[in-house]
Every structure is written in C-alpha cells, then in structure tokens.
Amino acid sequence: MSSRRSRISEEEIAELLSKLQSLLPEARRRGASRASAAKLLKETCNYIRSLHREVDDLSDRLSEMMATMDLDSAQAEIIRSLFRP
Amino acid sequence: MQVPNSFKLALLKQMLLGFQLSAVSSNSMSFHERKNAIKLSADAAMVFARGSTRWTRGLVASLSKNRNNEDLLRGILGKKYERLSLPCCNSWKIPRSRKILKRCLGLCSRRKKATGTQHDVKSSSTLARRLVKKRIQVLKKLLPGGESMEGFSLLDQTLDYAVSLKAQVDVMRRLLKISKASNLNLHLKEEEEEEEEHAQRH
C-alpha cells in the first residue's frame, strides 16, 4: 500500500500553480487567464525580490524613527489596527 | 492568500522583543547597526511566527552564519532556535512528482499551440523548457534553503515564504506608520509647550 505522501497528483500541482498566480499583484489585475510557467516563475521571482526591497526600505525608515519611539504604546496601537476593518 | 492575525501578532511581538534586546532605541548605535538589528529582528520574528518548515530552517541557517547574530536569534527564537538548527530529516524523494510537475510546467500551457512545422514546435518547446529551468535556478537562490529543494516542494515553499514575507512587510509598515504618528505627536506637544512658554513670557 503506497503511502499517501509518495505521490502528488496533478490536481495538487495545478492548485499550487493557481495559488501562486493569484498571489502575484499583476495577476489580480489581468484576470484569470493562465500564464505560462516561465512567466509565472519570472513574476514570482520579481515579487519576492520586490518584497525583499520593501523590507530593506522599511528597515531604513524604521531605523530613523527608532531613537524616539515608545515601543509599548506602539505595539498596543498596531494590535488595535490589526482588528479594524 | 493571507496569514491569520495570530501570525502577525506573534511576528510583531517577537520583532519588538528583538528591538528591545538589541536596544535599538538607544542613541549609541550607528544607523547601520540599528538597521541590521531591525532586519534581523524582523526575520527572526517571521521564523518564530511561522514555525518549522524548510524555508524557516534555511533562513535560520543563513542568519546563523554570522556569529554576531547568535545572541539575538536565541533571544527571539528561544527553544525554537535549537530545533530549527538541527539538520533536517532528509526529504522523502518524490521523483514522480518532479516528473509530473515538469510536465505541467513545460507542456500543459503549450498544448493549444499547433502552428508551425514540426521542427518549429520542437525548438520552441525546448526553449520554453530551458527558460523554465533557468528561472527555477533563480527562484532557488531567492528562497531560503531553496538550493536543496525540488519540484513540488520548491513551489510549495515559495508560496509559503511569499505569504509570510508579505505579512512581515505589513507589520513593519504599520509599525512605521504608528511610530511616525507618535513622533509627530511628540513634536506637536513640544511645540505647544514652547508656544505656551513663549506666550507666558510676553
């Protein structure tokens, strides 16, 4: 009896590819037309790189802000904002 | 795709812990030291929130390469640090999924195209396959621990990682927004006090 994990179905792969595509910012704008694999991979790489750049940029700006921050009240405020619609 | 709020909360909490441990709000740090501490805190916090998966182990491994990071990593990750640093049980080989995946990536999207000679169709699909291979190599370098992943795992972990990164960005943005607001309040308050003082003297 083959274990459940030793075979991955085509449906699972298709689902994964479609999830990846819906994650990408461009795909949401263009609609549901299926991108080629090469395009999907390229946009995924671009997306991850852009997220890395954002983290780097945010770290720069946070670094400037840090000296005068009250961390406890900031934390409370963010938690509140997470629960606002 | 989104992470639950509990993920962002855990991320925020551990990130702020990291800031406190590395004393980012002290005046004695240089801009770069502070920035690195912030980045490291953000990454370690993201790992903490996500728990054990291949990319988090990969990220811990690469962050640990710098000896200076160890204290902060331990401080933020606690017991998880040891667990995430253990060599991963070697991935169960799924050659079958790799074949299926490569087939889906290489040919599914091209089945509809029937134009051109036999020769043309062959070379265009070879090119497509080469391009896909090339981009997979790029992806492997972007994903922490990606070098040792293949096929389904690679894409699955990529999705997981991208979603977590997005959450990290979101939390950092909110923190920045609030810190700006509180700084603004601080300055306004100072200005008010100065004006009052000025008014009282005249």
- What is the tens place of the pLDDT at every residue in B74-126? 999 999 999 999 876 655 555 555 666 666 666 444 444 555 555 555 688 88
> Contact B45/B12 with Cβ under 8 angstroms?
yes
Tokens, residue A57: 């940029």
CA–CA separation, A42 vs B150, rounded Å?
17
Tokens, residue A39: 């395009």
Tokens, residue B81: 């640090």
Residues B39-45, mean pLDDT to the nearest whole number = 98
Considering only alpha carbons, which residue of chain A is nearest residue B131? A38
**pLDDT tens figures, A7-41:** 678 888 888 888 998 888 866 555 555 678 888 99
CA angle A43, B147, A28 (to 5 degrees): 20
B73: pLDDT strictly greater than 90: yes
**DSSP helix/strand/coil, B129:** helix
Instruction: Write the single-letter amino acid at B96.
Output: R
Contact A82 B109 (CB under 8 A): no
Which of A18, A39, A41 would you mutate first to test chain B, the one with the most B CBs within 10 A? A41
In this structure, chain B runs to a length of: 202
Q: Which residue has the higher pLDDT, A66 or B174?
A: B174
CA–CA separation, B135 vs B153, rounded Å?
16
A85: pLDDT strictly greater than 60: no
Contact A75 B94 (CB under 8 A): no
pLDDT, position B65: 95
Proportion of chain B above pLDDT 90, given as a percent: 56
Q: Is the ipTM of this complex over 0.90?
A: no
Instruction: Write the single-letter amino acid at B48.
Output: F
A67 touches chain B (CB under 8 A): yes
Spatial CB neighbours of B83, under 8 Å, sequence gap ≥ 6: B52
pLDDT, position B102: 67
pLDDT, position A45: 96
**pLDDT tens figures, B181-194:** 776 666 666 677 77
What are the DSSP E strand ranges found in A1-85?
none
pLDDT, position B200: 81
CA–CA separation, B110 vs B17, rounded Å?
50
